[in-house]
Amino acid sequence: QKDPLLIYKFESFELFKSMIDQVNKDVISFLFKGEIPQETANVIQEARARRRENVQTTKEEIQNMDERAAQARQAGNTQRQQQVVETIVRERPKIGRNDRVTIKNVMSGENKTLKYKQAEPLITKGDWVLVDD
């Protein structure tokens, strides 16, 4: 008697191979349908001339290693100077999640005292506001 698991594995492998073959055929047919654009001789010569112009530089224009290192140090110094840390100044002390706060309903004027983590959704909804104690 044959093991059903082995039969299942063989069938799945055959299906996988056929899928890979189909994908390969689709890719190859797609690639064969594509066309490479043809360039005229003038366009090719202009591109070569532009490439030569870009390559022609004088020795004075190329920086040596010392000049590059000096430039990198200057760039690093300017970046360090720009990194000034600004401290955040709060009007009130920060409220912790478990601190008790008093909130007031905008519509009815009702006051509630509860933890900030429970009051925060009500405040963000806009129906309640935080009351200074």
- Over residues 104-123, the pLDDT tens digits come to 998 888 999 999 999 999 99
Counting residues of the chain whose pLDDT is more than 70, the rounded percentage is 84
123, 101 contact by CB (below 8 A): no
pLDDT band at 83 (very low <50, low <70, confident <90, very high): low
Average pLDDT, stretch 86-111?
Answer: 87
Residue the block writes with tokens 């799945």 = 12
- Is-above-0.75 flag for pTM? no
| 14-48 pLDDT tens trace | 999 999 999 999 999 999 998 877 777 788 788 88
Instruction: Specify which residues 129 forms β-bridges with.
Output: 104
Residue 67 pLDDT greater than 90, yes or no: no
| d(C-alpha 2, C-alpha 11), whole Å | 13
Beta strands, E only, 1-133: 100-105, 111-115, 128-131
Length of the chain in terms of residues written = 133
Residue 80 pLDDT greater than 60, yes or no: no
Q: Which residues contact 106 (CB under 8 A, 6 or more apart)?
A: 126, 127, 128, 129
Dihedral (CA of 110, 115, 118, 120) sign: positive
